[in-house]
Structure 1
Amino acid sequence: HDSLKSLVVPFGTLLIMAPLTLWLLAPAGSFIGNYLIKFILWFYQTTGFLGVAVLSAAFPWIVMTGMHSAFMPYLVQAFASVGNDPLILVANFVSNLDQGAAALAVGVKTHHNEKLRSTAFTCGITAIVAGVTEPAMYGINFKYMKPMIGAMIGSFFGAGFAGFMGVKAFALAGSAGLFGTPVFIGNSIMTLVWALLGMLIGMIISFIATLILYKEEGPEVSDQKDSNKKAVEATVSDAVTA
């Protein structure tokens, strides 16, 4: 009954997911994460700056699965042993800003759907400034897919440039957005300059690629989808009531 949903649904969800997470998902994630970071490091050592480019392009998919958490032990060890990271954080920063740039491009190209336009601008700014990409990824880029492809293209070239120029991070970032860029300040200011330039290249390419790839749905298509959605919801509601 509706009066019990607020109590029963969360409790039932936790009752199922808590043991499932502790006994299956967490051990599996730890096992897969160990091999994931080993493969990424091997690929980087084999291909050099191309490894940074490929990782940055793939980073949103890694974040979606939660496997980016497996990078933390490597980062802690890297900073403790050699004092810098030339791979993970470089790819992460470029990818985050490119997710925001792709979302902004959707906002610029959207004219008929005011809600989508507003959401795209908000999510884009959040990703670029604060490094929080989940709203942009789930709400815009992955939902329409073409912006995700545009962001991946930009990330490949932006991170590739940064990797080629030898950009390194010298500290862990609390936020992989513009506010976190001081982590690239090292012995030479040029490290920060090349890092910012790589991010700018990635954002520009992501923005342009998304403008080219993304096609706004006409108002008649949006209206039809809304009508279909309401019809399905009404049918489900009637079935449940019956």
Structure 2
Amino acid sequence: MSYEKLAKQIVQEVGGKENIHSVIHCVTRLRFKLKDESLANTEVIKGLDGIMTVIQKGGQYQVVIGDHVPIVFAEVTKLIGKDVSEESESTDTSSEERGSLFSKFVSLLSGIFMPIMGVLAAAGILKGFLVALTVLGWMSEDMGVYTILFTASDALFYFLPILLGFTVGKTFNTNPFITATVGASLVYPTMIDIYNAGESLTFLQIPVVLMNYTQSVIPIILAGFLVAKFEKVLLKVIPKALQLIFVPLFIIVTIVPISFIVIGPLSVNASQLLADGAMALYSLSPVITGLLLAGIWQVAVMFGLHWAFIPIMINNVFTIGFDPINGLLYCTVFAQTGAALAIVFRAKEAKLKSLSTTATISGFLGITEPAIYGVNLPLKRPFLFGCIGGGLGGATAGFFSASMFGGFASGGIFGIPMFINPEGLSLQFYGFTLSLLVALVTAFVLTYFFGYSRELAVKQIEKKSA
């Protein structure tokens, strides 16, 4: 495949570079913000060799490509003549103004968390492997190699307010270095030492409710929103010659105290309520919750709605020490992978067999888009059977109270250790692994016997070849 040619075709069919406001990419998708989405030839793009599908959601025109999307993105960037990957997603709000409130909320969370999802998952996987190695007795916490690797895995989570400060700044279209500085103040060692020592602190005779903001999510998001609003006011009243220094100065001396006195305590309490609410819903019936939520999860991922759950998962881990939601949902990746694997054995067409083989490998590594858009969804029934397998796997995970510990796992075989309780292997973890097998085997068996249609497979291949 010529990625340069594919990039030229994509740029042309989305309306030309003049119609592109900005573009970024995630693991498998080019995410455009177009000035006018009606100018894009969606059906033509869907039919291009190398394109899985197109999704229009949350103010973004998403071209699903697969795991070679970084190469295509680089070619697209060359064609449009500017590094739009550095542009803020919020600089053009026209498309979002037409969307629903929930659509705006999902788009907001996507902009905040997407840039760090790769390293977030990598750090979580490393944490999980360290837990597994210590539980199995192959490594001890007093070893130097453990100390260094744990530091590498925990640094992102510990300093999460700083890293989110950068992405929050870009998402809210304000100076990311200012918002990162606010985030850094929340985890400043002196403040943490005062909190750990149980000492009191006041600011202009106003008592400060000290808390530990390491690994927190909500405080920096709210503080960043306030920074963006305050910056607009300052830019109007401060002369341009003085803005370079005095705009950041007034923001820092105002927002940092407000963050400690008001935003921080309210956010931490809100985080606890969010975690309690999630656990309350989960405790009503973990089995039914797993059956329903895991059954529809891949549909939610297709439309980008999963971004609304990611802060809840991360918040649960750092508020109550574990997250049962991802414990329910993790099996869905294996369910869609199982359906694609069945097509590997059933398909008679060389092109479909090759595509499903690649999709299966990607699925085991945690990337389901090739399986969903390249195989399961076009053939219809495999996707449905994948959802059924996911639902049964989720119910199994709920029965055994499967939970994620100590970080964030985005999917695939390498994230499995994240579900080992640091206290040791237990029925909870064994039940979790069983949920993966239930999802995989159910989707495989149903697809193998009832999910393959040669007629539909031939139509899909002819459509792609046309």
Counterpart residue identity of residue 160, structure 1? A
1:107 to 344, 351, 357: 344
Q: Does 1:167 align with 2:174?
A: no
2:361 alignment partner in structure 1? 125
2:431 alignment partner in structure 1? 194
Structure-2 change in CA distance of 1:10 and 1:168 (3 Å): same
Question: Which structure's residues are more often helix, by fraction?
Answer: 1
Structure-2 change in CA distance of 1:28 and 1:158 (3 Å): closer
Q: Does 1:206 align with 2:213?
A: no
1:11 alignment partner in structure 2? 18
8 A Cα contact 2:382 2:452, kept in partner: no
Deviation beyond 6 Å, 4+ runs, structure 1: 37-42
1:237 alignment partner in structure 2? none
2:271 alignment partner in structure 1? none
1:28 alignment partner in structure 2? 102
Bigger shift: residues 165-174 or 20-29? 20-29
Structure-2 change in CA distance of 1:15 and 1:160 (3 Å): same
8 A Cα contact 2:335 2:386, kept in partner: yes
8 A Cα contact 2:393 2:436, kept in partner: yes
Q: What secondary structure does 1:202 align onto?
A: helix
Deviation of 1:110 after TM superposition, in Å, equals 0.3
2:332 alignment partner in structure 1? 95
Distance 1:228 1:154 in 2: 28
1:238 alignment partner in structure 2? none
Larger Rg: 2
Structure-2 change in CA distance of 1:206 and 1:228 (3 Å): closer
Deviation of 1:24 after TM superposition, in Å, equals 3.8
Give the TM-score, by structure 2 length. Answer: 0.43
Counterpart residue identity of residue 29, structure 1? S
Q: How does 1:149-160 map to 2 (within 5 A)?
A: 149-160=384-395
Counterpart residue identity of residue 204, structure 1? V
8 A Cα contact 1:59 1:95, kept in partner: yes
C-alpha RMSD over aligned residues: 3.3
Structure-2 change in CA distance of 1:7 and 1:114 (3 Å): closer
2:253 alignment partner in structure 1? none
Deviation of 1:133 after TM superposition, in Å, equals 0.7
Bigger shift: residues 200-209 or 45-54? 45-54
Deviation of 1:23 after TM superposition, in Å, equals 2.9
Higher relative contact order (CA 8 A, sep 6+): 1
Structure-2 change in CA distance of 1:40 and 1:29 (3 Å): farther
Distance 1:225 1:214 in 2: 17
8 A Cα contact 1:109 1:216, kept in partner: no
8 A Cα contact 1:146 1:210, kept in partner: yes
Structure-2 change in CA distance of 1:61 and 1:218 (3 Å): closer
Structure 1 residue ranges without an equivalent (≥5): 231-242
Deviation of 1:204 after TM superposition, in Å, equals 0.8
Deviation of 1:222 after TM superposition, in Å, equals 2.5
Counterpart residue identity of residue 397, structure 2? A
8 A Cα contact 1:107 1:117, kept in partner: yes
Deviation of 1:6 after TM superposition, in Å, equals 8.2
Can you list the C-alpha shifts for 1:198-232, whole angstroms capped at 9, x where unaligned? 1012111110011122133159x8379738974xx
8 A Cα contact 1:103 1:140, kept in partner: yes
Counterpart residue identity of residue 103, structure 2? G
Structure-2 change in CA distance of 1:143 and 1:76 (3 Å): same
Deviation of 1:67 after TM superposition, in Å, equals 0.6
Counterpart residue identity of residue 359, structure 2? C
Distance 1:150 1:173 in 2: 27
Q: Does 1:46 align with 2:284?
A: yes
Distance 2:103 2:353 in 1: 36
Bigger shift: residues 142-151 or 221-230? 221-230
Aligned residues: 222
Counterpart residue identity of residue 79, structure 1? V
Structure-2 change in CA distance of 1:193 and 1:45 (3 Å): closer
Counterpart residue identity of residue 312, structure 2? Y
Deviation of 1:41 after TM superposition, in Å, equals 6.7
Structure 2 residue ranges without an equivalent (≥5): 1-8, 21-33, 37-58, 60-91, 108-273
8 A Cα contact 1:40 1:55, kept in partner: no
Counterpart residue identity of residue 181, structure 1? I
**Matched-pair identity in %:** 24
Question: Which structure's residues are more often strand, by fraction?
Answer: 2
